[in-house]
C-alpha cells in the first residue's frame, strides 16, 4: 500500500478551506434557489383563484430594496478592497454592508406593521398571505447571512489590525478574511437577486399574465 | 480536512467521543441507531395495522381513528425518518470519507449539528403520539383539505407536530447534504478521480443532490399548510362545508399541494433507491469476486435516473385529474426512466455471470434485492400507464408495488450493507447463523406478504380502508389471504428483533473480523487501524491508483487488488481509448495529479498487461 503526502491535501486551512466553503456556499445557494423558485411557482399558480386581490407594495419595501442594493454594492467594494490588500477599507465596507442588511430587516418589519395597520393580514387574501410568507422566508435568509457576516467581521478586524500590506511588501499574505468577505459578497448578491425577483413578482405579476403563460386564458 | 484540523476536534472525553462527536463515523452510528430505533416503531405500527386487517374487530384498541394514525405514521417514519436518514446520514456519513480517502467530512461541526437536528425532528415526530388527539391520521401524503379539517384524526396538534418535525428534518438533511456534496467534490485523496469512486459513493452523492433540490418542495408545502392550519390562510384550503359548518378558508388550491408534495415525493423514491443501487453494486462485485460490469454506464445511469426523477412526479396524480397531454407526458417520462434502470439491472446480472459467487449473508441480501426490485419495478410499468393506473390506483396493487420497490428492496440493501460493513465499524463479524435466519425469513416473508397483495389489488380490494367487511366483490378467500398475510407480517416483524439482537451481541461478542474480512478492494478497508481511528488515515493520506473493482485480475497474487496498492500491481479501470493511445505512444512524464489519473499506471497496464 502506498501513502500520500502528509501535507494538508484536503480542506482544513488556507486555500483548500476557502475552496471547500465556497463550494458549500454554491450548494446552499442551489438549495435556496430551489426553495424560492418553488415558492414563486406556488405564488403564480395560486393567482388563478377568484379570491386573488393584489396587495400594493408598502413604500417601506422600496426603501428596503434600496438598502439591499446598497448592501450588495458595499460588500462588492469590501471584497475588492480585501483582494487589493486594503484591509482597513475592506472592514469599513463590510460593516456598511452588514448595516444595510440589518436595515433591510428593520424596514421589512416596518412594512409588515404598515400592512397590519391597514388590516392587510395573512388570512385576508392569498396575495397578502404570500407577501408575509415570501418576505419572511427571504428575511430568514438575510438573517442567516448576517450570522455569516458576524463571523467574518472579527477576521476582517484582525486583518485590518495587522501591519499594512504596503509595509510588508512581498511578505504580505492575504488572510482568511479575504475569502470570507468574498463569500459574503456572493451571498449578498444572491439575496439581492432573489429579493428583486420576489419584489417584482409580488408587485407586477398579474393573474392575466400567468394565465397567458400557462395558456389557460 | 488536514491532519492538523482533524486532530483539532479529536475527542478527549466520553462526551466528545460518543455524544457531541464531530467524527463522521460516530455520527454515522448515531444516525443509524436513531433511524433503526424509529424504524422499529414504524414496524410495530405496521404490525398493528396488519392485526386489524387480518383480524378485523378482534383488537378493540385499534379503532378506525388509530388505524389511520398508524398508517400515516408508519408511512412517514419508514420513508423519511428511517430510509432517508439511514442511507444518507448513516451510510453516507460512514462511507463517503473512508471511500474517497478523506479524514472526515469537510464541515465536521455542521455534520454534528445535522445529527442533533435530525434527532430533534424524531423527538417532535414522536411527541405527536402524546399530544391531544394523537398524531395525524391524514395518510402519509398529508393531502389537504382533510389533513387540517376536524374529523380527521390528529387534525389539531397532531398535524402541527408532523409539519414541524418535517421542517426540522429538512434542515438536518440540508446540513448533512452540504457536507456530503462538498466532501465528494473537494476532499477526495490523491488519485481518486470521480470515475474511480465506488458506486456506493456515486449513489449517495447523486441522492444527496436530489434531496437538496427536492426537499425544499416538501418544506414549502409544509410551511404553507402550517399557515393554513394556524393562521387561517388559504394557500391550499378551498372554501368548503366541514361537519355542517362553512369553513373560514376560501379559494385555496389542494392540487397545488399535491404538485408540490409529489415534486418532492417522486425524487424521494430515488433518494432511497440510488444509494441502494450504489451499495448493491459494490456488494455484488465484492462477493462475486468480479469487476462491476459497465462501471461508466452504471454511473451515467445513476445520474440520468436522478435527473429524470424530477419530471415524472405527476404520475402519482393521474386520479387527481389533469390535462390529457400532461398525462401522456408523465406516462412517457415514467416509462423512459425504466431504460437506465434496466441498464443497471442488466449490468448487475452480467457482473454475476460467471462470477465466483460467494453466498455470504450480504450477497444473499444483494441477490434478494435484485429479485425484489425487478418485480416491484415491473409492476411500476403497469402503474405508469394512465389507463391501467386509474382502476388500480386505489387498490392493494399499489400497496404491493411500492412496498416491493421502495420499501423491501432498499431495506434488503440496508441489511446487506450492514452485514457487509459491520466488521469495519466494530471490528467484529455479525453472527452468520442468525444472519442466515434473518435473511431467509425476511426475504421469503416479504414475498409472502406482498405477492398476494397484487392479487388482492386486481380483485379490487381498496387500500386505505379500515375494514373490508360487507363488500360483495371481496370474496371470503381474500379475507383468508389477509389473515395469512398478517401472520407472516408478524413473523417477519419479530425476526427484525433477532437482527437487532445480533447487532447488539456481535458488537460485543462477535468473532474478530480482521482488517478486511471480505477481501474487498475499495479504499475503506485499508485504513491503518480497523476499526478506523479518528482522522482515518494516520499521518499520511492514501494515494489511489485504480478503481474499486479490481477483482480476479489474471496473474495477480490474490483475487483482489486494493485501490491504493502500488501501480505495479495492475488491475486498472478500463480507460478512454484516446488516453490509452497517448500512453502507448510512450509519452514521458509519469505524474499523479490531485484527484487525477496516474498516467504511468495506464502505460503499465497497456504494455505490461495485468500483473
pLDDT (tens digit per residue) in A109-161: 999 999 999 999 999 889 999 999 999 999 999 999 999 999 999 999 988 88
Give the closest of B6, B233, B543 to A3, CB-based: B543
**Does residue B199 surpass a pLDDT of 50?**
yes
Tell me the chain A residues in contact with residue B181 when contact means C-beta distances shorter than 8 Å. Answer: 23, 27
Distances (CA, A) of B230 to B166, B225, B292, B512: 16, 9, 53, 55
What average pLDDT does range B551-567 have in this prediction? 95
**pLDDT (0 to 100) of residue A51:** 87
**Does residue B599 surpass a pLDDT of 70?**
no
Query: A27 vs B181: CB contact, 8 Å cut-off?
Result: yes
Count of CB contacts below 8 A, A vs B? Answer: 156
Question: Which of the residue ranges B102-106, B338-342, B571-575 would you say has the lowest mean pLDDT?
Answer: B571-575
Predicted ipTM?
0.90
**Does residue B62 surpass a pLDDT of 70?**
yes
**pLDDT (0 to 100) of residue A9:** 39
Largest CA distance in chain B: 85
- pLDDT tens sequence across B297-312: 999 999 999 999 999 9
Give the pTM: 0.92
**pLDDT (0 to 100) of residue A170:** 55
Instruction: Give chain B's mean pLDDT.
Output: 92
Please count the helices (runs of H) and the strands (runs of E) in chain B.
20, 2
For A43-99, give the DSSP string. HHHHTTSTT--PPPPPHHHHHHHHHHHHHHHHHHHHHHHHHTT-HHHHHHHHHHHHH
What average pLDDT does range B61-81 have in this prediction? 97
**pLDDT (0 to 100) of residue B586:** 35
Whether B581 and chain A come into contact, CB under 8 Å, resolves to: no
Residues facing residue B551 across a β-bridge: B560
CA distance A99 to chain B (A): 27
Beta-carbon contacts of B124 under 8 Å, excluding residues fewer than 6 positions away, are B161, B164, B165, B168
What average pLDDT does range A191-200 have in this prediction? 97
> Which of the four pLDDT bands, split at 50, 70 and 90, describes residue A213?
confident
**pLDDT (0 to 100) of residue A165:** 57
Tell me the chain B residues in contact with residue A133 when contact means C-beta distances shorter than 8 Å. Answer: 223-224, 227
Query: A10 vs B187: CB contact, 8 Å cut-off?
Result: yes
**Does residue B581 surpass a pLDDT of 90?**
no
**Does residue B592 surpass a pLDDT of 50?**
no
Give the closest of B107, B186, B189 to A19, CB-based: B186
Percent of all residues in chain B with a pLDDT value above 70, rounded to a whole number: 93
* Contact assessment for residue B266 and residue B345, using Cβ atoms and an 8 Å cutoff: no
> Which of the four pLDDT bands, split at 50, 70 and 90, describes residue B99?
very high
Query: B182 vs A20: CB contact, 8 Å cut-off?
Result: yes
Query: How many alpha carbons fall within 13 Å on the CB side of residue B282?
Result: 33
Mutate to test the interface with A, among B187, B234, B563 (most CBs of A within 10 A): B234
What average pLDDT does range B93-101 have in this prediction? 98
**Does residue B12 surpass a pLDDT of 80?**
no
Mutate to test the interface with B, among A10, A12, A37, A148 (most CBs of B within 10 A): A10
> Which of the four pLDDT bands, split at 50, 70 and 90, describes residue B4?
low
**Does residue A53 surpass a pLDDT of 60?**
yes
**Does residue B131 surpass a pLDDT of 50?**
yes
**pLDDT (0 to 100) of residue A169:** 56
Instruction: Give chain A's mean pLDDT.
Output: 89
Whether B562 and chain A come into contact, CB under 8 Å, resolves to: yes
Whether A2 and chain B come into contact, CB under 8 Å, resolves to: yes
- pLDDT tens sequence across B242-280: 888 888 888 899 999 999 999 999 999 999 999 999 999
**pLDDT (0 to 100) of residue B245:** 87
Residues in B 153-192 with any Cβ partner in A closer than 8 A = 174, 177-179, 181-182, 185-187, 189-190
Whether A10 and chain B come into contact, CB under 8 Å, resolves to: yes
Q: SS3 of B560, please?
A: strand
* Contact assessment for residue B187 and residue B100, using Cβ atoms and an 8 Å cutoff: yes
**pLDDT (0 to 100) of residue A161:** 84
**Does residue B576 surpass a pLDDT of 90?**
no
> Which of the four pLDDT bands, split at 50, 70 and 90, describes residue B589?
very low
What average pLDDT does range B88-117 have in this prediction? 97
| Closest chain B residue to A30, measured at CA | B213
Tell me which residue of B499, B522, B482, B386 sits closest to B435, measured CA to CA: B499
Beta-carbon contacts of B67 under 8 Å, excluding residues fewer than 6 positions away, are B49, B52, B137, B466
**pLDDT (0 to 100) of residue B578:** 45
Whether A126 and chain B come into contact, CB under 8 Å, resolves to: yes
Q: Phi and psi of B62, rounded to 5°?
A: -95, 85
CA distance A166 to chain B (A): 31
**pLDDT (0 to 100) of residue A49:** 83
Query: B232 vs A10: CB contact, 8 Å cut-off?
Result: no
Q: SS3 of B543, please?
A: strand
**pLDDT (0 to 100) of residue B611:** 27
**pLDDT (0 to 100) of residue A48:** 83
Residues in B 222-241 with any Cβ partner in A closer than 8 A = 223-224, 227, 231-235
> Which of the four pLDDT bands, split at 50, 70 and 90, describes residue A168?
low
What average pLDDT does range B434-460 have in this prediction? 97
Give the closest of A1, A42, A133 to B526, CB-based: A1
If phi over 0 gives left and psi between -120 and 50 gives alpha, with beta otherwise, what is residue B392?
Answer: alpha
Amino acid at each position: 500500500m502506498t501513502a500520500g503526502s502528509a501535507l494538508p491535501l484536503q480542506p482544513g486551512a488556507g486555500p483548500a478551506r476557502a475552496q471547500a466553503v465556497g463550494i458549500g456556499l454554491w450548494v446552499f445557494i442551489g438549495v435556496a434557489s430551489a426553495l424560492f423558485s418553488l415558492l414563486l411557482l406556488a405564488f403564480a399558480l395560486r393567482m388563478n383563484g377568484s379570491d386573488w386581490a393584489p396587495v400594493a407594495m408598502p413604500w417601506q419595501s422600496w426603501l428596503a430594496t434600496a438598502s439591499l442594493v446598497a448592501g450588495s454594492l458595499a460588500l462588492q467594494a469590501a471584497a475588492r478592497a480585501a483582494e487589493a490588500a486594503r484591509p482597513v477599507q475592506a472592514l469599513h465596507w463590510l460593516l456598511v454592508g452588514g448595516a444595510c442588511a440589518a436595515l433591510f430587516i428593520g424596514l421589512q418589519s416596518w412594512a409588515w406593521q404598515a400592512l397590519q395597520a391597514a388590516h392587510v393580514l395573512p388570512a385576508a387574501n392569498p396575495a397578502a398571505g404570500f407577501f408575509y410568507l415570501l418576505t419572511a422566508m427571504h428575511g430568514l435568509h438575510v438573517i442567516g447571512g448576517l450570522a455569516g457576516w458576524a463571523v467574518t467581521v472579527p477576521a476582517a478586524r484582525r486583518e485590518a489590525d495587522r501591519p499594512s500590506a504596503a509595509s510588508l511588501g512581498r511578505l504580505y499574505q492575504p488572510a482568511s478574511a479575504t475569502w470570507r468577505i468574498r463569500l459574503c459578497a456572493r451571498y449578498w448578491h444572491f439575496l439581492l437577486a432573489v429579493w428583486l425577483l420576489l419584489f417584482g413578482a409580488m408587485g407586477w405579476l398579474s393573474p392575466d399574465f400567468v394565465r397567458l403563460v400557462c395558456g389557460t386564458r | 480536512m488536514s491532519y492538523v484540523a482533524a486532530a483539532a476536534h479529536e475527542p478527549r472525553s466520553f462526551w466528545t467521543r460518543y455524544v457531541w462527536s464531530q467524527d463522521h463515523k460516530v455520527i454515522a452510528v448515531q444516525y443509524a441507531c436513531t433511524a433503526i430505533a424509529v424504524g422499529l416503531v414504524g414496524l410495530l405500527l405496521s404490525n398493528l395495522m396488519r392485526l386489524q386487517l387480518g383480524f378485523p374487530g378482534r383488537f378493540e384498541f385499534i379503532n378506525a381513528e388509530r388505524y389511520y394514525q398508524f398508517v400515516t405514521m408508519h408511512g412517514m417514519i419508514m420513508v423519511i425518518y428511517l430510509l432517508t436518514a439511514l442511507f444518507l446520514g448513516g451510510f453516507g456519513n460512514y462511507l463517503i470519507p473512508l471511500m474517497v480517502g478523506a479524514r472526515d467530512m469537510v464541515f465536521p461541526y455542521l455534520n454534528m449539528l445535522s445529527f442533533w437536528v435530525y434527532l430533534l425532528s424524531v423527538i417532535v415526530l414522536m411527541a405527536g403520539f402524546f399530544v391531544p388527539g394523537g398524531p395525524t391520521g391524514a395518510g402519509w401524503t398529508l393531502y389537504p383539505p382533510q389533513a387540517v379539517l376536524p374529523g380527521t384524526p390528529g387534525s389539531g396538534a397532531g398535524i402541527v407536530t408532523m409539519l414541524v418535525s418535517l421542517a426540522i428534518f429538512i434542515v438536518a438533511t440540508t446540513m448533512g447534504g452540504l457536507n456530503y456534496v462538498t466532501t465528494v467534490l473537494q476532499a477526495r485523496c490523491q488519485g481518486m478521480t470521480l470515475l474511480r469512486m465506488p458506486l456506493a459513493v456515486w449513489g449517495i452523492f447523486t441522492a444527496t443532490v436530489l434531496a437538496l433540490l427536492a426537499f425544499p418542495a416538501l418544506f414549502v408545502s409544509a410551511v404553507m399548510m402550517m399557515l393554513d392550519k394556524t393562521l387561517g390562510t388559504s394557500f391550499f384550503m378551498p372554501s368548503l362545508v366541514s361537519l355542517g359548518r362553512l369553513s373560514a378558508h376560501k379559494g385555496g388550491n389542494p392540487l397545488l399541494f399535491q404538485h408540490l408534495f409529489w415534486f418532492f415525493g417522486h425524487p424521494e423514491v430515488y433518494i432511497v433507491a440510488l444509494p441502494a443501487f450504489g451499495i448493491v453494486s459494490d456488494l455484488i462485485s465484492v462477493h462475486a469476486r468480479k469487476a462491476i460490469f459497465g462501471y461508466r454506464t452504471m454511473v451515467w445511469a445513476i445520474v440520468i435516473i436522478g435527473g429524470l426523477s424530477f419530471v415524472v412526479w405527476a404520475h402519482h396524480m393521474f386520479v387527481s385529474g389533469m390535462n390529457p397531454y400532461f398525462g401522456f407526458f408523465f406516462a412517457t417520462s415514467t416509462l423512459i426512466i425504466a431504460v437506465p434502470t434496466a441498464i443497471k439491472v442488466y449490468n448487475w446480472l452480467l457482473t454475476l455471470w460467471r462470477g465466483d459467487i460467494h453466498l455470504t449473508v450480504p450477497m444473499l441480501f444483494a441477490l434478494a434485492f435484485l429479485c425484489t426490485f425487478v418485480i416491484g419495478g415491473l409492476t411500476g410499468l403497469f402503474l405508469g400507464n394512465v389507463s391501467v393506473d386509474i382502476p388500480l390506483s386505489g387498490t392493494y396493487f399499489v400497496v404491493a408495488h411500492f412496498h416491493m420497490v421502495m420499501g423491501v428492496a432498499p431495506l434488503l440493501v440496508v441489511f446487506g450493507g450492514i452485514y457487509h460493513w459491520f466488521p469495519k465499524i466494530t471490528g467484529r463479524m455479525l453472527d452468520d447463523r442468525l444472519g442466515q435466519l434473518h435473511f431467509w425469513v425476511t426475504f421469503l416473508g416479504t414475498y409472502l406478504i406482498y405477492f398476494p397483495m397484487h392479487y388482492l389489488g386486481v380483485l379490487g380490494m381498496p387500500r386505505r380502508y379500515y375494514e373490508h367487511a360487507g363488500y360483495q366483490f371481496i370474496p371470503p378467500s381474500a379475507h383468508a389471504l389477509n389473515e395469512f398475510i398478517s401472520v407472516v407480517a408478524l413473523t417477519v416483524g419479530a425476526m427484525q428483533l433477532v437482527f437487532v439482537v445480533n447487532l447488539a451481541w456481535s458488537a460485543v461478542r462477535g468473532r474478530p473480523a480482521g482488517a478486511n474480512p471480505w477481501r474487498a478492494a475499495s479504499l475503506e478497508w485499508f485504513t491503518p487501524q480497523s476499526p478506523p481511528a479518528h482522522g482515518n488515515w494516520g499521518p499520511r493520506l492514501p494515494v489511489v491508483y485504480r478503481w474499486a473493482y479490481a477483482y480476479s485480475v489474471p496473474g495477480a497474487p490474490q483475487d483482489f487488488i486494493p485501490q491504493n496498492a502500488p501501480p505495479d500491481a495492475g488491475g486498472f479501470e478500463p480507460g478512454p481509448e484516446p488516453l490509452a493511445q497517448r500512453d502507448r505512444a510512450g509519452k514521458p512524464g509519469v505524474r499523479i495529479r490531485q484527484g487525477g489519473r496516474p498516467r504511468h499506471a495506464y502505460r503499465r497496464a497497456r504494455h505490461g498487461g495485468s500483473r
